[in-house]
Amino acid sequence: MNEQLNFIDLEIDDQIKKCEQAITIILKSINELKKTTIKSNFKSQNEEIQFFKDIKPKFTSKLIYYNTIFKIETKKPHGGERILKKYLNNELDKLKRYFDNNLDFYKYYRTGSNYLDHKYFSRGKIDIKLALDSFYFEVDHSYSTSHDFKVAKIIAHDLIQVYLEDQLLMLENKEPKEKSQVNPKVKQTWTGSKVALIELLYALHTEGVFNNGSSDLKDIAEYFENIFNINLGQYHRAFLEIRMRKSDQTKFLNALKEKLIKRMENTDDLL
């Protein structure tokens, strides 16, 4: 599914057409996933919890994302920059309202908690005290739990927020920063992975090491792309993937630290 989505993302520029094709692909994949899951029984409750907490939401979140972007694009008003900014900010406000209304579960999921997983992600565990959404009572309970859809919405909302913020940045149409008049003798090209550079980019931005912390992430990313002769692409989405790693979220930074310590231990390398 992801391979097909990546393909249409590269091949189709029109956002509405892209969403239409993406939704068709995702619905087919979700249908196949459901058939496969219903045919096979879970070996344990832990396996069932893992499926409804980690696996199914990855599919459902894609559907929510592309369906929401489709609605945003088809309802986008015709007008100047001010009108479009207001419209996009209103969409961001909707995400915030959902976050505020589900703050407790956001905290539970974001902190990696699991003490309520047996209620949230096991089928047939209906507890009205968990503030269930009304639609839950109408879904197929043989293939749904009380909170797997909420997890999908959290994942999707992260992606939607990135999309909306990118749209707002494009509207701002900032002037490029003046380049230095001094050109280095040798052009330095980044030959490591893009993911590694994006990990470094976010770490440096978080630490606030550029312009006393006043630089925007977008400005730093563009600077990196220019000086290292690389296209970082959708670095916001790449960062979400980094954040969702099961282990070693800061893989590149950890490797940097280890190798630098080894170099310091070898005094000859310092010269």
Q: What's the pLDDT tens digit per position in 180-239? A: 445 666 778 888 888 889 999 999 999 888 888 888 898 899 899 888 888 888 888 888
Q: What are phi and psi of 233, to 5 degrees?
A: 60, -140
pTM confidence score: 0.65
The beta strand positions in 7-130, using DSSP E, are none
Looking at residue 203, its pLDDT comes to 92
Give the residue ranges of DSSP H helices in 111-207: 117-120, 148-172, 194-207
55-91, pLDDT tens digit by residue? Answer: 999 999 999 999 999 999 999 998 888 899 999 999 9
- Helix (H) / strand (E) containing 138: none
Domain ranges of the chain: 2-172, 194-270
* Contact assessment for residue 118 and residue 200, using Cβ atoms and an 8 Å cutoff: no
Provide the percentage of residues in the chain whose pLDDT is more than 70.
88
- pLDDT averaged over the chain? 85
Per-residue pLDDT averaged across 109-118, rounded?
91
Looking at residue 130, its pLDDT comes to 62
Q: What are phi and psi of 133, to 5 degrees?
A: -70, 145
* CA end-to-end span of the chain: 51
Q: Is the dihedral of CA 43, 49, 54, 55 positive or negative?
A: positive
